[in-house]
Amino acid sequence: MATQIEPATQTDEDAFRAEVQQFLADNFPAELKGQSNALAGVDGPTNETPAQTKWREAVGARGWGTPTWPKEYGGGGLTKAQAKIIDQEFAKAGAYNPIGGMGVMMFGPTLLEYGNEAQKQEHIPPICRGEIRWCQGYSEPNAGSDLANLQTFAEDKGDHYLVNGQKTWTSGGQWADKCFAIVRTDKSDKHKGISFMLIDMDTPGVEVRPITMISGTSPFCETFFTDVKVPKENLVGEEGQGWTIGKRLLQHERTNISGGGSLARLMGQSLGDIAKKYQPTGADGELADAVLRDKIADFEIRWNSFLLTARRAMEESKAAGGVSEISSVLKKLGTKLSQERSELLIEIRGLQGLGWEGDGFSDGELGAVRAWLFGKATTIYGGSTEIQNNIIAKRVLGMLDHQ
């Protein structure tokens, strides 16, 4: 990334804060207050309201949705301190960051590191403007945890590759414009035969079939490639470098799953406060159910120490320059805790916390049930908890592979 000059004084920060406040006053449509970014996720079709479009375009034009990305590719070119100010001011105004999705969370940072100049010029600006949706073509029916076993083959045809094979569990595949994929270019070497390439989802021969999930939605697909032509300029890095690049992307994914995005939003919503709305309390406002109270406190203490761990790890990895294997620890801890939280919400709400549909349940209650079910996936995707444990044991702790 380009070198950045840290703001030297408090006055600079104050000036920047004022600039952000002014920007919000000028651009943030009041009707969007309190909304979250419906399009950032991978779990819905693209149906923006005019106000949402306006807000996305305003933030995108400044590059403030990707504040620390370099300015020459459409990012904000800002320091971490300034990015934090944007976060704070947006939060104060009840404004969401309209720029998100897999492009921001994992593909962009990876391309900035490994892409060539032309690729960065082509792909990063539309991500910063929130115009293009990316999906991840990694997993295959026989390449899940053993991702390197992937068989989708890209045959060298001179000026292009001809891709054949099947990906699966492609989140948002049915709504995505483009796919970053790892494919096999050499059948003779498991890891060195893998290459990282970018595939347009509307290329002839790409077909998706949505799969329904236990939460009742269909946010992911089987993706089939039949004689799909991919131009050579869509190869990222060298042929055979795909495993290295692909793994780096996974580190970004893990960091996002655990600490960055979704979990942070839950901060501040104490389970105890929720419990008091559903459960009887005693004279001092304490929960009458002592066992449940103990469980909530136990959870909240571990949740707090997780947030502290996440913060410490971020600071340490910043000093060390980028994401690292600590992302495995964070992913494993954060996903387990958020699953526990969903389960505790059910215990707090009783059967009212298990509604599937109907007027008798609030949107919040129904949303929590779907999130509880969907949340079971977080310990499976992005490298399962078991795989994180293997990474920690082998790469961090140097424990030998005995099998």
Partner 1 sequence: MAVLNEEQEMLRDMAREWTVNESPVTEFRKVRASGEPEAFNRDAYATMAQMGWAGVIIPEEHGGSDFGFLSAGLVVEELGKTLTASPLVMNTVAASAIVLGGSDEQKARWLPRLASGEAIATLAVDEGPSHDPAKIETSVSDGKLSGTKAFVHEAHGADLFVVAAKDGLYLVEKGDGVALTTRKLTDQRSHADVTFDGAAAEKLANGGDNLLDDVLDRARVLTAAEMLGMAQQVFDDTLDYLKQRVQFNQVLASFQALQHRMADLFADLAQMRSAVEAGLQAVDAGFGVARAATIAKAEANRVMHTMANEGIQLHGGIGMTDEYDVGFYLKRARVLEQSFGSSSWLKDRFSKLSGY
Ligand X SMILES: Cc1cc2nc3c(=O)[nH]c(=O)nc-3n(C[C@H](O)[C@H](O)[C@H](O)COP(=O)(O)OP(=O)(O)OC[C@H]3O[C@@H](n4cnc5c(N)ncnc54)[C@H](O)[C@@H]3O)c2cc1C
Apex 120 CA angle, 160 and 330, nearest 5: 105
Contacting ligand X within 119-158 (CB under 6 A): 135-136, 138-139, 144-145
Binding window for partner 1 (CB under 8 A); candidates: 81-89, 257-265, 315-323, 369-377: 369-377
Residue 5's alpha-carbon distances to 64, 71, 87, in angstroms, are: 17, 13, 20
Contacting partner 1 within 193-232 (CB under 8 A): 211-214, 216
For ligand X, the binding residue among 203, 390, 392, 393 (CB under 6 A) is: 390
342 binds ligand X (CB under 6 A): no
- The reply to whether 253 belongs to the active site is yes
Q: Give the pairing type, strands 220-231 and 194-200.
A: unpaired
Binding window for partner 1 (CB under 8 A); candidates: 116-124, 142-150, 259-267, 303-311: 142-150
Phi-psi region of 261 (alpha: psi -120 to 50; beta: other; left: phi over 0): alpha
Calculate helix-pair angle for 326-349, 363-375, nearest 10 degrees.
Answer: 140
290 binds partner 1 (CB under 8 A): yes
Nearest to 89 by CA among 68, 109, 64: 64
Contacting ligand X within 152-181 (CB under 6 A): 169-171
Query: Catalytic residue among 48, 239, 253, 343, which?
Result: 253
Q: What is the 8-class DSSP label of residue 394?
A: I
The CA distance from 224 to 221, in Å, is 9
386 binds ligand X (CB under 6 A): yes
- Give strand pairing partners of 180: 136, 198
Q: What is the 8-class DSSP label of residue 392?
A: I
For partner 1, the binding residue among 60, 75, 77, 353 (CB under 8 A) is: 353
380 binds partner 1 (CB under 8 A): yes
Q: Where are the beta strands (DSSP E) in 36-159?
A: 134-137, 153-156
352 binds partner 1 (CB under 8 A): yes
When CB distances are held under 5 to 8 angstroms depending on the partner's kind, the choice from ligand X, partner 1, none that residue 258 binds is none
110 binds ligand X (CB under 6 A): no
Quote the tokens at residue 203.
């290329």
243 binds ligand X (CB under 6 A): no
Quote the tokens at residue 278.
């559903």
User: Closest CB to ligand X among 251 and 384?
Assistant: 384
DSSP result, 15-41: HHHHHHHHHHHHH--GGGTT---TTTS
At position 288, the amino acid (one-letter code) is A
When CB distances are held under 5 to 8 angstroms depending on the partner's kind, the choice from ligand X, partner 1, none that residue 375 binds is none
Residues forming contacts to ligand X in the complex (CB under 6 A) are: 135-136, 138-139, 144-145, 169-171, 220, 377, 380-381, 384, 386-387, 390
Active site residues: 253
Residues forming contacts to partner 1 in the complex (CB under 8 A) are: 139, 142, 144-146, 149, 168-169, 211-214, 216, 278-279, 289-292, 295, 339, 343, 346-347, 349-358, 360, 369, 373, 376-377, 379-381, 384-386, 389-390, 402-403
